[in-house]
Chain A
């Protein structure tokens, strides 16, 4: 027993001085390597999958779309400005009224507080996929079955959608957010963890000013008196009785609106949210 222990000790001692097994000092198993050369005639022979004669044997793969001398298909037809000015066109991914109703019914969205871009992102069902997307538009699918009183802010909405919201006693507003503000609203926690003061929300670009200052579109830069007038006109056009917001118990919630420079409800630009100490730092001036 003692002798065998000694032998083991000696073996271990020798092992300590030997180099470790690593990538530099190992070799492949015998006969495990394939030869890299394609042998000809008696040295392997045959065509090796490349075929007999011609283009296939020479393996000259033609470039994509090339038709060996014909005018290629992809340059055969006359121009058409399908994508003209695409780099300037803002995209608004759609959210339907039906989807909104489903999210309210399944408690993904709380109607007791104003709904905005952050609310949609927090449901986990919607997100922006591209730098060309500037928020969500509310579309008219499920218009007849929509039955919720909401205070909602989207980036674009059609007339019939506005009518559907207002018919149920709700308030809709369309507003513009610049890409940076959208980023902040989409990843709220990530932004607050940075520990930077909230920036100002930018005003809309020149081609969007007309839309967001129009009372017909319920733009956030429109005159509130004009908007209340337009609400009445739309009710008459679509033939429903406009519910009175003034006598509504949720009047305060329904009329809560952001400043054009504000990103979050209750937080002003320049304020800093401290997630560690759970407090808001407000500058003196």
Chain B
């Protein structure tokens, strides 16, 4: 076995994990570290500079979201915003016997949504996780059918971070509005609709009026903004119980001195991606389609994960049968290519991707799944480097693999249940067999 002799080239294709911060964003942030560093709550000059920057950023973002500035709560990132939406609405309305303790979400949500629901379950909430079809799409009808009179919150992501499938957010929002009307619920009464838009923000419209959402999570680190900053849009009249309390900043919904440089950076980053969205989407989709077309031509036995067309323009996720994703990832890294995988081996829990399993794909599809996510810096030369490296790496790993699956093999044929390391069955297969 010999590694192919191909020169290394640094190719970053993991933009769904995080993006580099745009130089213009960094520049906009810089004055707020050392010059205009004042605490926006203060009354003297440098504090007023901070307060002005803060309200300026809020207004600029409100313009992009087509909402009121007071409807924006700045937070420490996407996970915090998701947590605030889930815990905030659930604990505010769940405690009131007039409403109830039921939440609807999907099986393919990010852990920042799924794990709060686990916590809320222990607090007596009932959680309904609606499934997805084989392309990863949530059905509007399934969401609406799951609503009960106790439902206080529906949380469905705008676009999936792993497979890139875009969810019908506006349709769910409209259908919920219709349900509320028919059931005598006002717009400021539950159930409310939250969407995690972190992955979608770079590529899709964030116009609240079109999306019909009550709450929306955004963050900086996926849109060439700084890490550690995010926001929760929260429609006027929708109540939240804050979980970070103290000085009462952000209208008491998120205490703590505002991270002014990061918030300024977030506003700048959102403006930049909104401005260049259409042209960049077209450029990325073309590169992505070229990559997938050529991979199919050069690598046997590959399967697309996610929707063939209704997906983020920068996302390609596919499974290479018979090889394990982490091994492939590390070999690609040796040639300078950075990607990610849904293999159990890269997750801290050693669980395979819950998204790929939710789409009804066999376990081995998750273990051999590779995600390439393109971004601003991606060029045709980068894609060509991948196309040079990937086929020999796959061939090499297949040469040392003892298995040879066929594309139309069924789950039960492959899963030799009694053959695991300890002659038992791993826990995630037991869950599914219940």
Q: Does A associate with B in a complex?
A: no
